Amino acid sequence: MRHVLSLFDLSSDEIRRVLEIASELKQRFVEGIRPPCLDRQVLGLLFEKPSMRTRVSFETLIRHAGGSSLFLGSDVGWGTREPIQDFIPIMTSYLDCLVIRAKRHEEVVAASHYSRCPIINGLTDYCHPCQALADILTIHELLGSLENAKVTYVGDANNVAFSLALACNRLGVPLTIAAPTQYQFNEETIDQLNAVAGDTFIQQTTDLHAAVDGSNIIYTDVWTSMGQESESKQRIRDLADYQVNTELMSRAAVGARFLHCLPARRGEEVAGDVIDSRASAVIQQAENRLHAQKGLVVWLLTEANGNH
Ligand code: CP
Ligand code: NVA
């Protein structure tokens, strides 16, 4: 059975196929057509952390496609009420697909070993593959193709940065990470990422101005991710010079666009006037969560796993 626990689970061609389905279904949605391609399928959402975009986009897309969803919060007792070897096989025998948002990536991997239906990672401390699919769809829409994309990610090389980097490597998009050394990917992670690269490899630098020079996509995420709240003060101090502000945007390529997975902390990783500017495409990017994930679920339940 195929799961999508990270983008390592998808080849370059499979990512392209997911995005192709996503774009086709988005176009039809814009025309007012919602094909019932997931008729009566039931999607579970097992979430250990807060969410707005991921939860609402999954719950909505399955309804567009003729199915329904169940939101499963802490009251179902995942990890507290019964062992995983009872909990996961039973829960997944009721469902057609399960989206999990977990504190620890290992929990999602463990769940996949006991699962009777495909699992999608809806964010862990390690990665956020659904976000990266929407990011790539958005970059493609903004630039008309991925061919001339040059992406700079500014700030903490976190879960969102990891999936973005993997997607860029899979699709041959050059990506530079600009961060203080201790917030960059470590050597082992870089080796993992570059193992799937074609001709393009991740670059990392502490030189923010050199990193954004010539880039047409500037991306950032929060300095303090969910679960790191106790480190917040230190992180704000360490990353203070890496804010995406108007001055930094003016050093990027002419017409460069700004992306952020959201939620954002205006005044920390991004200045309010950048996220609210014409260069910002964050609303389109968030909207694309719906379409990219619709492509992913349709692909996973029809082409990758057939009739489950
Ligand atoms: N970007 C993202 O995953 O948002 P939520 O945490 O609101 O789902
Ligand atoms: N890096 C952030 C992303 C939230 C969508 C976090 O993990 O909290």
Separation of CA 225 and ligand 2 centre (Å): 5
Closest C-alpha to 223, from 201, 203, 211, 241: 241
Q: Where are the domains of the chain?
A: 7-128+289-303, 131-286
Question: What's the mean pLDDT in 207-226?
Answer: 98
Domains 7-128+289-303 and 131-286 share a fold: yes
Residue-wise pLDDT tens digits, 251-270: 999 999 999 999 999 999 99
Is any atom of ligand 1 closer than 6 Å to the C-beta of 123?
yes
Closest C-alpha to 58, from 43, 48, 72: 43
CB contact at 8 A, 261 and 25: no
Residues whose CB falls within 8 Å of the CB of residue 141, separated by 6 or more in sequence, listed in order? 284, 288
What pLDDT is recorded for position 196?
84
Closest C-alpha to 100, from 56, 162, 54, 67: 54
What pLDDT is recorded for position 218?
98
Measured CA to CA, the distance from residue 276 to residue 133 in angstroms comes to 23
pLDDT at 30 exceeding the cut of 80: yes
Is any atom of ligand 1 closer than 6 Å to the C-beta of 262?
yes
For residue 288, the ligand closest to its alpha carbon is 1
Paired strand residues for 259: 219
Q: Mean pLDDT in the chain?
A: 97
Is any atom of ligand 2 closer than 6 Å to the C-beta of 51?
no
Residue-wise pLDDT tens digits, 162-200: 999 999 999 999 999 999 999 999 999 999 998 887 767
Q: Looking at 1-10, 158-167, 299-308, which range is the least confident one?
A: 299-308
3 carries an active-site annotation: no
Helix (H) or strand (E) holding 55: helix 53-64
Residue 302's SS3 state is helix
Closest C-alpha to 180, from 240, 225, 245: 240
Q: Out of 261, 285, 291, 293, which one is annotated catalytic?
A: 261
CATH 3.20.20.70 matches 7-128+289-303: no
Helix (H) or strand (E) holding 88: helix 84-94
289 carries an active-site annotation: yes
Q: Confidence band (pLDDT; 50, 70, 90) for 85?
A: very high
127 carries an active-site annotation: no
Is any atom of ligand 2 closer than 6 Å to the C-beta of 226?
yes
Nearest CA to ligand 1 atom 4: 53
Q: Confidence band (pLDDT; 50, 70, 90) for 201?
A: confident
Mutate to test the pocket of ligand 1, among 51, 55, 99, 101 (most ligand atoms within 8 A of CB): 51
What pLDDT is recorded for position 307?
52
Measured CA to CA, the distance from residue 126 to residue 128 in angstroms comes to 7
Nearest CA to ligand 2 atom 1: 225
CATH 3.40.50.300 matches 131-286: no
Residue-wise pLDDT tens digits, 149-166: 999 999 999 999 999 999
Residue 42's SS3 state is strand
Q: Looking at 57-61, 187-191, 221-225, 293-297, which range is the least confident one?
A: 187-191
CB contact at 8 A, 177 and 185: yes
Separation of CA 119 and ligand 2 centre (Å): 20
Question: What's the mean pLDDT in 127-132?
Answer: 98
